[in-house]
Amino acid sequence: MMDAVMSNATGLEIAVIGMAGRFPGAGNIQDFWRNLRDGVESISFFSDQELSAQGVDSALLQDVHYIKARGILDDIDHFDAPLFGFSPREAEIMDPQHRLFLQCAWEALEHAGYDPETYAGLIGVYAGVSASTYLLNNLAVNHELMQAVGGYQVMIGNDKDYLTTRASYKLNLEGPSLTLQTACSTSLVATHLACQGLLSGNCDIALAGGASLRVPQKSGYLYQEGGIFSRDGHCRAFDAQAQGTVGGDGVGIVVLKRLADALADRDFIHAIIKGSAINNDGSLKVGYTAPRVDGQARVIRAAQIMAEVDPDTITFIEAHGTGTPLGDPIEIAALTQAFHETTSRIGYCAMGSVKTNIGHLDAAAGVAGLIKAILSLEHQQIPPSLNFEQPNPQIDFAHSPFYVNTRLAEWKANGTPRRAGVSSFGIGGTNAHVVLEEAPAIESSPESRPGQLLTLSAASHAALEKATTNLVEYLKQDSGHALADVAYTLQLGRRALNHRRMLVAHDQADALQALEICDPKRVFTSFQEPGHRPVAFMFPGQGAQQVNMALELYQNEPLFREDVDRCARILQPHLGLDLRSALYPNETQREEAAQQLQQTWLTQPALFAIEYAVARLWMAWGVPPQAMIGHSLGEYVAACLAQVFSLEDALLLVAARGRLMQELPRGAMLSVHLAEQELRSRLATNLSVAAINAPALTVVSGPPDAIELLEHQLSAQGVDCRRLHTSHAFHSEMMEPILKPFLSHVKRVTLRPPEIPYLSNVTGTWIKAAEATDPDYWVQHLRRPVRFADDLQALLERTQVLLEVGPGQTLTTLAKQHPAQAAKPIVLASLPRSQDRQSDRAYLLHTLGRLWLAGVSIDWPGFYASEKRRRIPLPAYPFEAQRYWIDPPSSSKQPGRSAPAAPPQKADPADWFYVPFWKPAALPASLKSEAKP
């Protein structure tokens, strides 16, 4: 199918990548399709008691011409004001059309999988709205409110002009923001203009649609013979008994994108807009509100020509279909004229009207029909058009390409892509037509990393719980989408709000099991105040090395593997071997490699390579260090990332440092639970303080026999101490013989001022440019004690998120035990401890999730740089709607609800919606000539 679609590509196609809507009987798109598929008529019929409660005069209720029916929405008085930053008063005075449009805009973008806060392109809004009856019936008559709030604020909240610009403001959309009005065709005209905006490059994504809500909702209408409204509250489009339509409320939005971009970005495509057109009937018709065959036929044909589609291949028409005795025959005559320009086939194209299900939605009518056609293409089914028994005798179906589809039918492709046309015609003659085509077939989802990070967020804990429940229900349905695509969409396609939850899951069943019970050992939840959360990297020193450290990352993360490979290539002439043979040996060489990694000449280059590669991976994922701290060798990694050394120079120095140390006599090191000054008084002259890791944790370095003697003495005094697994006495006087040789190496490299701040082991505070660029500093760094406790104190005064970057968790432990812990920093490790036997990959994902929980911004596209994932439709945000409503003053009689002064008159014959059809014999001539009277 994809070949058939793409072979007919014009380069002007627009993809529909998301939708949202509220329609009578349907709170979302899924319910809407279910009702369409099942042939549900969602028109409400009201009791006298319901209407009386809305203030309808009892005399009007007794009038046989008063039809007590409409298509209505639930809870139009409710809105999630806090989510959008509205005060209660602002929400109360805002037209519910604007409020629901705003919520649907949020939902439509989520359905498309895009968060405007992180999307780099321009997002435009094209839409229209019906007149504000909330303003007329509830606000304007409330004089105290108007005086208290002010007319300007009321206007801002209710006038048509501010529908789209408010959505752009609240959602941070920077593309064109156009409110337009063409009566009933408004939202389909908006769709056409949105397509043009995309094709002209004014935006990269466009929202198009409309909203129409009448207040009060529970109200009827006076039937007039020949008028637009039906005698009995049912719309019978194209039927012999058709006498008009019935009003309805609704909001609908589609999300559009250039097809080429949507395919490149692997968006979920619901359908393709192949072409669209708009025009106006002009004056050659019987009246301003009357339709015109030629005008409609031209716009239909223009859309087909733009689409470069043969009408023979269009097998469904979602018609304007108001069910008026004059409008329906004119519409079929126009369609037939347009189709018969290139085909003589008859009876092959199904048609229907969504107005038979939900009524006429005025400014939202066009987008409702568009969404119906899109859903029909997506599900490959044509839903029934309701209330059709016998065709209107003025419609010549027998010699047309069309038939009214009255039952749910399989939509067969018949050798070409499924295609549909959608029409919408407005009072005043602005016509719109859109040609749709089914979405191209997509390739199966590619393989992903083992394990997935699922993220959820909401504006409140209650909404987070509901979002979790909705995700569980979605996963239970087994949509067929890969869990990796679920994770991808949640990460890229949802705004990161303050209440957050994360889980690392192996597969869908694992995710369901953990989320259903919200397993506290695996599902982590937090609340974070908004704001930037800088991260500091901590690089460990010698002692954390082991065979196969970060092996899973090397196997599964291309960026990590590339950096390790690069380090190995640079180091090979300095080491005389391929570093990877020691890091990741085969099983027969494992023992030999383990012994090699205990040798300082290889340990230090190996640790540097792993720490450097892990750091670069974090940076590629959007977690750059705002500050850094290293322990001994770890400071070299920090300096390299800060651009003090190039990678080549850093590896040269690390290899030389390790080799020179290896040539020294063996030494030993002892970690002692005493403060530096207290311990110094107990040291022999041949022992040195090598590191101050905490205020009461100091490392001593020196000859093995002297260290052994000190260990016995301290143990006898009840002082806790522990021998470290090292081969040499680092940071002691035993390093003296290699200071000058090492200085000669440092002098051969280029040293630059640091571009990222980091802590100095030598001074215990922030490195200065003069120090970093002084070769003697690096010599002193080799000899002087590591003042890590002081460094950590300085770091915690600036940064509250610490991330250990490298194997093991030694620095994580030190940071958590530091007295500055009273500031409650978030301390995380990149990799598990060797004894934990956990998956490197899963642990790293878990840490990524914990960083996100802490409020750290993640570059999700960078995270997926090596994968081709796609966005998929997922459950929408669970709005926490509360009632924000101004009721009309109870004493006032609202316009249009009192009894009429005289019986209703027949409609004006010049108005096409109201033409009394009492002279059927005259219709064919008027259809042919349409001459101005």
Catalytic residue IDs: 184, 320, 360, 632
524-527 and 499-505 strand pairing:
antiparallel
- Quote the tokens at residue 502: 């994360």
Q: 423 vs 199, 279, 354, 630, 779, CA distance in Å?
A: 21, 12, 11, 67, 80
Residues 6+ apart with CB under 8 A from 469: none
At residue 403's C-alpha, the angle toward residues 401 and 405, to 5°, is 140
> What's the DSSP call for residue 160?
G
Q: In what order do the strands lie in the sheet with 668-672?
A: 688-694, 697-702, 668-672, 721-723
535-539 and 625-630 strand pairing:
parallel
* Alpha-carbon span 220 to 51, nearest angstrom: 8
* Alpha-carbon span 715 to 81, nearest angstrom: 66
The SS3 call for residue 381 is strand
733-764 in b/e burial notation, b at 16+ Cβ within 10 A? ebbeebeeebeebbeebebeebebbbbbbbbb
- Other CB atoms within a 10 A radius of the CB of residue 715 amount to 11
Q: Do 262 and 5 meet the contact criterion of CB atoms below 8 Å apart?
A: no
Q: What is the dihedral of CA 432, 438, 439, 443, to 10 degrees?
A: -170
- 551, 550, 547: which is closest to 594 by C-alpha? 547
The alpha carbon of 477 is separated from its chain's Cα centroid by a whole number of angstroms, namely 21
Q: Do 429 and 280 meet the contact criterion of CB atoms below 8 Å apart?
A: yes
* Alpha-carbon span 876 to 22, nearest angstrom: 13
Which amino acid is residue 23, in one-letter code? Answer: F
Residues 6+ apart with CB under 8 A from 704: 666, 667, 668
| Coarse DSSP helix, strand, coil percentages of the chain, rounded to the nearest 5 percent | 40, 15, 40
* Alpha-carbon span 248 to 352, nearest angstrom: 17
For 89-176, where are the E strands, in sequence order? 123-129
Q: Which long-range contacts (CB under 8 A, 24 or more apart) does 165-168 make?
A: 166/98, 166/102, 167/101, 167/102, 167/105, 167/125, 167/127, 167/207, 168/125
Which amino acid is residue 445, in one-letter code? Answer: S
Residue in the block written with tokens 């997002």: 123
Q: Which long-range contacts (CB under 8 A, 24 or more apart) does 641-645 make?
A: 641/537, 641/612, 641/615, 641/756, 642/754, 642/755, 642/756, 642/757, 642/758, 642/772, 643/752, 643/754, 643/755, 643/756, 644/751, 644/752, 644/753, 644/754, 644/772, 644/773, 645/749, 645/750, 645/751, 645/752
Which amino acid is residue 236, in one-letter code? Answer: R
Residues 6+ apart with CB under 8 A from 306: 12, 274, 275, 276, 277, 435
The SS3 call for residue 128 is strand
- 842, 781, 790, 785: which is closest to 814 by C-alpha? 790
